[in-house]
Amino acid sequence: MGRDRAALIAGAAPGGSVGDRAARGLAAAVPVLFLGALVVWPLVAVFDRSFDGVGLGAVGDVLGRSSVRSVLWFTVWQAALSAGLTVVIGLPIAHVLARYQFRGRAALRALVIVPFVLPTVVVAAAVGAAFDRVGLGFDRSLGAVLAAHVFFNLAVVVRVVGGFWAGLDRRQVEAAMILGDSPSRAWWTITLRQLSPVLSGAFLLTFLFSFTSFGVIRVLGGLRRATVETEIHRYAIARQQFDVAAVLAALQIVIVLVLAVATARFQRRHALARRRSSPPLPVVGPVRRLHLAAVVGLVLVVIGGPVVVLVEQSLRVGDRYGLDNYAALGERIDLLPLSAVAALGNSLVFAAGAAVVASLVGLAAAVTITGGGRVGRLLEAVALLPLGVSAVTLGFGYLVGLTVFDLRRSVLLVPLAHAVIGLPFVLASVVPALRSVDPRAREAAATLGASPSAVRRTVDWPLTRRALATGAGFAAAVSIGEFGATSFLGRGEASFTAPLAIFRLLSNPGETLRGQALALSVVVGVVVAVVAAAMEWRRQPGVTVL
């Protein structure tokens, strides 16, 4: 009976007909083939090229170059500094959102979370405009790079740390204060000790995102602030030295996988921690009001400031303000293969295609994953690889791996690559929804004679379609702003997207071009923010996409 009940919980009747078994096999085959062709094979091709193409001795020669060591060192320490700053700035914000109940709490949370799904080139443009506005300049500015990483990753710290903090029992701190400890000492000795595992996990996660940052470095860093990511692109595209790029990509994959394993370990410790939730506190008294005001001011400066400056500068035309930069987006200029509006149209088309593909593959993968077994566990691990392995590495893998029928030149590869990157967002939404379905409802339907397909249609689908729509929306939002893989694949008019247009406009001198780049950044940012905010609003309780 135990095995029969497990089968029912997985959505299949004991045994099952030949048609049911074939349907389950097809559901597993679709994501396996998709991920095998567009994730596993490109990564294998990168390693094959790095070792077979140049040999082990030449690999050592590449890694022994002083320029490569300098790039690797800068990549590591800027990522560590970015992660440290993000944790320090995010900690008081996470505390307020986790512990206080106040009017406008949802709006403050949305303001913090939305930047994470904004295109990296839009984030870079916003921070660059803010630095330029106050006279600091942003070309090759380390400060701008760090600020952009904080802007982009603050949501990670707030969501990860804040979610854990909200579940901590305050009674230990209250007991320590009754026994004579000051509030600060109680925080250092009790709260911080309880938060240390999740703080370490948040640091590793933000380090990983900063380590694989591409768009921010390309726009704000310049050649003097090169990282492993930008060097992979430079050696592959500008210099056509695929062997050197392959060595750097293989090195990055190894480092990223080690970081991903370490992050997963901290997340498991977080998930297994025994916690007793305490209700949020009302904001009463001068101390709490001052604390809340300080945190709101911090968010408005760190996140709101660059956004406001981006909009303000996009409206600036010489010594006046107007909509000239926005009107010019529909015009064709020699610098771009098509108008900025047409590039945005390509991005929206690709986003729709990526959302559809990610939804279909993600739904099939989620059914297999929640069904259990070795195939499900392996599929879940492979499907989450795009969260760790950078889009730049995947894009380079397509160049060196998809030579059959010259698929790397196909315009269809762009939305497929975007679907790969968006697939983890679909799984993060659908898998918890499927696992939350009450097994008794499935058992009751099966007992009444419903086939496994009928059980999935009448029990699972009504409860998971909202989660699927949420995941598809986030996949579309990510696709609109995708820059890393597209920089390898977007060549002609048909595959030229809005992020590529923003980067090209920002890379060339001239106030007119810069104004158009900022205007296009505002438009793209608004589209992505609206989609992400709508999906966050539709998100099912208990389901965490970010």
Q: What is the mean pLDDT of each run of 10 residues along the chain (546 residues)?
A: 42 50 73 86 81 60 77 90 94 87 84 83 88 67 88 89 76 68 69 79 88 87 80 83 82 80 64 56 80 89 90 88 91 87 93 93 85 75 77 84 67 89 87 73 62 64 79 90 84 85 87 90 89 66 52
- Cα–Cα dist 180/156, whole Å: 35
Longest dimension (CA), the chain: 78
Query: Exposed e or buried b for every residue in 465-484, given b needs 16+ CB within 10 A?
Result: ebbbbbbbbbbbbbbbbbbb
| pTM, rounded to two decimals | 0.82
- Cα–Cα dist 492/217, whole Å: 24
- Cα–Cα dist 546/536, whole Å: 10
- Cα–Cα dist 347/527, whole Å: 11
- Cα–Cα dist 35/427, whole Å: 13
- Cα–Cα dist 68/60, whole Å: 11
Tokens 């990168």, located at residue = 46
Q: Which amino acid is at 147?
A: A
Q: Are 264 and 76 in contact (CB under 8 A)?
A: no
Question: What is the Cα gyration radius of the chain?
Answer: 24
Give residue 453's pLDDT.
63
Give residue 265's pLDDT.
67
Give residue 454's pLDDT.
65
Question: Does residue 135 come out as left (phi exceeding 0), alpha (psi in the -120 to 50 range) or beta?
Answer: left
Give residue 4's pLDDT.
44
Give residue 84's pLDDT.
94
Write out the DSSP string of 405-456. GGGGG-TTHHHHHHHHHHHHHHHHHHHHHHHTS-HHHHHHHHHTT--HHHHI
Give residue 219's pLDDT.
85
Give residue 10's pLDDT.
43
Q: Other C-beta atoms within 10 Å of 225: how many?
A: 21
Write out the DSSP string of 58-106. HHHHHHH-HHHHHHHHHHHHHHHHHHHHHHHHHHHHHHHHHHEE-TTHH
- Cα–Cα dist 109/125, whole Å: 23
Q: Are 126 and 307 in contact (CB under 8 A)?
A: yes
Q: Which domains does the chain have, with CATH numbers?
A: 55-304 (1.10.3720.10), 315-546 (1.10.3720.10)
Give residue 5's pLDDT.
43
Q: What sign does the CA torsion over 114, 120, 123, 127 have?
A: positive
